[in-house]
Amino acid sequence: MRPDIEKLTTKDDLIAQGYTPLTKEALLALVSNNTVHGDYEYNGHRVYKTFMNANGEMDGRNDWGSNEAGKYTIDDDGYLSVTWQGYWEDWSGLAFKVDGAIKFYDAQSGRWRTTFTHILQGKQDLHV
């Protein structure tokens, strides 16, 4: 099942389509001390890897070869907020499991923000 991306406007639209947001506990169990491999749209399709430690710190690298450090939090409603130290874009999104991946819904834009396509156990090489 795939959500109708063109018609998304609120998280309630996703829930009405049968999707359930991940809880804070479920999302934290997936990302804490693991490396996420993901993708997003920015001047075309981009990919990245980010290690997310249990203390809320991150190290990331994208397919342009850019590295960045930052911090993340997950609030009680399950929203993941990412703040980078440099010029990468900060964002916040609610996690939904969609077709085996974790997609993040951005409430400000009403669109998907980013997707964690794979969760790699532990700290992995960040080259993409």
How far is the first Cα of the chain from the last one, in angstroms, to the nearest whole number? 28
Question: For the chain, what is the mean pLDDT?
Answer: 91
Give percent of the chain above pLDDT 70. Answer: 93
Whether the per-residue pLDDT at 73 is higher than 70: the answer is: yes
pTM: 0.89
Give percent of the chain above pLDDT 90. Answer: 70
Within a 10 A sphere around the Cβ of 20, how many other Cβ atoms? 10
C-alpha 15/C-alpha 19 separation (Å) is 5
Let me know if residue 101 belongs to a domain.
yes
Reported confidence tier of residue 12, pLDDT bands at 50, 70, 90: confident
Q: Domain count for the chain, please give it.
A: 1
CATH code where residue 100 lies: 2.40.128.640
The mean per-residue pLDDT over the stretch 36-60 comes to 93
Residue 70 · residue 62 · CB < 8 Å: no
Q: How far is CA 100 from the centre of its chain?
A: 14
User: Tokens at residue 79, please?
Assistant: 């929203």
pLDDT, tens digit, 9 for 90 and up, residues 85-113: 999 999 999 999 988 899 999 888 888 88
Let me know if residue 127 belongs to a domain.
no
Task: Judge residue 9's burial from the number of C-beta atoms within 10 Å of its C-beta, 0-12 exposed, 13-18 middle, 19 or more buried.
Answer: exposed
Let me know if residue 52 belongs to a domain.
yes
